[in-house]
Structure 1
Amino acid sequence: MRNYAFRLVNVFAESQFGGNPLCVFEQADGLTDVEMQLLARQFNLSETSFILPPEQAGASARMRIFTPDMEMAFAGHPSLGTAHVVKQLQAGDTQFALECKAGLIPMALDQQGIWTLVAPYRSEVQHGGVQTRPCELPPAQVAAMLGLQETDLLSAPVWVNTGSEQLLVPLKSAAAVAKAQPDSAQLASWPANRVGRRMAYVFAFDEPVESNPEPRQVTARYVFARSDGGFGEDPGTGSACANLGGWWMAQGQVVPVSMVISQGVQMGRPCRLHLEVTKDQAIRVGGRVIEIAQGQVQIE
């Protein structure tokens, strides 16, 4: 019998039972790929992460990230939650790098208790900027798939990739974000990203884009197609928050800029995400991590 310790943490949380839940396995040596996938399916959270010894120079630890259905090269809230656990285990620095399949992710903990990551898209800046591509469906059709009108759109939906490609759907108001309801009957027609995942990150600025509040307040939701059919919703999505920073730059907006994103309220899991796009175009995503439980899994 093999024992594997895990911790349950809430990421982007402002209270004990807010935020996006994450399971982190402290020492995953000896687990096979199949076992990691089965454990992610067992916990049935949006992601489960596994800590392993680093393979790249400069990393304090390596992490692998699994949804209940697949492994991911990068995800935001698992990176922040894993960083919290790595620091606890190693009694280490407040700044270090985590290794994942997307590369090295710089992590930092500030004096206010907010963990921040730097999105792994920097090489793309050297080749013309953030990766974007037009959505293959007309804006009116995307709006209809979300139960919205084309007049609810601030601009055309677009694919953005600053670490994980997602469809960003800018809306004119927080009310439009709240009323978005993906139509499961149209799931087969929903556009998929380059690895076959179907999702949409809908968001709206509380103030007009032309205004200049600091930080900007944003309301957002992230919906995704489940493997068993229908749509689910993620309470706090760090990779999509990073893509919002990429969208901002792709729109030719001024940097530096900072934003505070509210997500998960309608799910009863309020999340607060901090986004900063620096003058040199680094994208930083941050939030608090609250640990709520520890345990062990026994594997035969």
Structure 2
Amino acid sequence: MALTYHILDVFTERPFGGNPLAVVLDADPLSSADMQKVAREFNLSETVFVLTPTSAGHTARIRIFTPSRELAFAGHPTLGTAALLAELRTQPQLNGERDAIIALEEEIGSIRVGVRLRSQAAAYGEFDAPKAENTLERLSEPEEISAAVGLIPTEIGFENHKPTLLRGSNTFAFMPVSNLEAMSKVKVAPLHWSRAFTARGVHGVYLYTRQSVRVQSAFHARMFAPDLGVPEDPATGSAAAGFAYVINEFDELPDGTHKRAIEQGIEMGRPSAITLTMMMARNKLETVRIGGHAVRIAEGTLRF
């Protein structure tokens, strides 16, 4: 059996930046065990398997695997797969431009991604993230959680921002860091990490600061998920979606539409750019939208 796969860099306009993603097409013959083996072989943050949709109203059904487990939802696999399917399955208009809605069946539910394709430009996609079903929890034990990421307690927090936890299909801890210098020192300390995060069921820790490398960025971020087989992630759409609730909690957004540019992956040499859009109504966060570019860089044949 031979299956076609593609490699994309997601949340970047240039090859070899952003977060790499493997997408395996026509993967219906594969078992769950097969998919996990393939994801471990690619050894990227996530690998996507494209399957026949169960509903005619959807473009495809997808399953998402890290090197160690399956995920119900993830941001850069959603955006990258939608960009790829738009390129492969839609016809260009007379001027060569294409706009497509790609409807994906994921374990968490249906996700619709708007994709814009233009000649001589990277594909751009945007989707409404699943709504958080839980409220933010405050994280205490500052000595333990700071030690877990190789920092001291005084380097955690800025302004009124404090460490928080948001539970869901992917549970993230959000840790504000005082400045870029402290961010550059972050390193997972396994023993402290196990007590501070693994024991709480945390999948990933998202660290952020208002200081940024790029002028246009509102936040600089790093994300670590060693329990998922991801030592550090260059760009994390699902964490950025959860981060919207953190921003609203501490920055108290007024009603209206608010956009924030988030940079990530810079310390890894894979700079990424995520556009986070938050829509507030009646003092509530009604919609969280994740946007970014994707570049197809390779394709090949997977043989079994």
1:254 counterpart SS class: coil
**Aligned-residue offset at 1:5:** 0.5
**Aligned-residue offset at 1:57:** 5.8
Match among 149, 156, 170 for residue 152 of structure 2: 149
**Aligned-residue offset at 1:83:** 0.4
Question: Do structure 1's residue 138 and structure 2's residue 137 form an aligned pair?
Answer: no
What residue is the counterpart of 2:302 in the other structure? 297
How far does the alpha carbon of each residue in 1:143-185 deviate from its partner, in whole angstroms, 9 at most, with x for none?
A: 1222222222223311124652211111232322222222124
- 2:52·2:61 contact (CA, 8 Å) conserved in 1? yes
Match among 184, 192, 197 for residue 186 of structure 1: 192
- 2:105·2:111 contact (CA, 8 Å) conserved in 1? yes
Moved more, 231-240 or 288-297: 231-240
In 1: Cα distance, 2:253 partner to 2:296 partner: 36
Alignment of 1:158-173 (within 5 A): 158-161=164-167, 164-173=170-179
In 2: Cα distance, 1:263 partner to 1:167 partner: 16
Structure 1 residues without counterparts, runs of 5 or longer = 125-129, 208-213
In 2: Cα distance, 1:64 partner to 1:120 partner: 16
Question: Do structure 1's residue 206 and structure 2's residue 205 form an aligned pair?
Answer: no
Percent sequence identity over matched residues? 33
In structure 2, do the counterparts of structure 1 residues 216 and 44 end up closer, same or farther at CA, with 3 Å as the change threshold?
A: closer
In 2: Cα distance, 1:216 partner to 1:185 partner: 33
In 2: Cα distance, 1:260 partner to 1:33 partner: 36
**Aligned-residue offset at 1:140:** 2.9
- 1:162·1:246 contact (CA, 8 Å) conserved in 2? no
Counterpart code for 2:270: R
Structure 2 residues without counterparts, runs of 5 or longer = 92-98
How far does the alpha carbon of each residue in 1:173-218 deviate from its partner, in whole angstroms, 9 at most, with x for none?
A: 2322222222124233132387x454310001139xxxxxx97611
Match among 76, 98, 111 for residue 104 of structure 2: 98
- 1:12·1:273 contact (CA, 8 Å) conserved in 2? yes
User: How many residues end up aligned between the 2 structures?
Assistant: 282
In structure 2, do the counterparts of structure 1 residues 24 and 193 end up closer, same or farther at CA, with 3 Å as the change threshold?
A: farther
What residue is the counterpart of 1:271 in the other structure? 272
In 1: Cα distance, 2:197 partner to 2:28 partner: 37
Counterpart code for 1:262: E
What residue is the counterpart of 1:211 in the other structure? none
Moved more, 281-290 or 167-176: 167-176
Counterpart code for 2:21: L
- 1:174·1:203 contact (CA, 8 Å) conserved in 2? no
What residue is the counterpart of 1:116 in the other structure? 126
**Aligned-residue offset at 1:99:** 1.2
- 1:161·1:243 contact (CA, 8 Å) conserved in 2? no
Name the TM-score, length of structure 1 as normaliser.
0.86
**Aligned-residue offset at 1:139:** 2.3
| RMSD after superposition | 2.4
In 2: Cα distance, 1:4 partner to 1:60 partner: 19
In 2: Cα distance, 1:96 partner to 1:193 partner: 37
1:108 counterpart SS class: strand
- 2:85·2:102 contact (CA, 8 Å) conserved in 1? no
In structure 2, do the counterparts of structure 1 residues 87 and 227 end up closer, same or farther at CA, with 3 Å as the change threshold?
A: closer
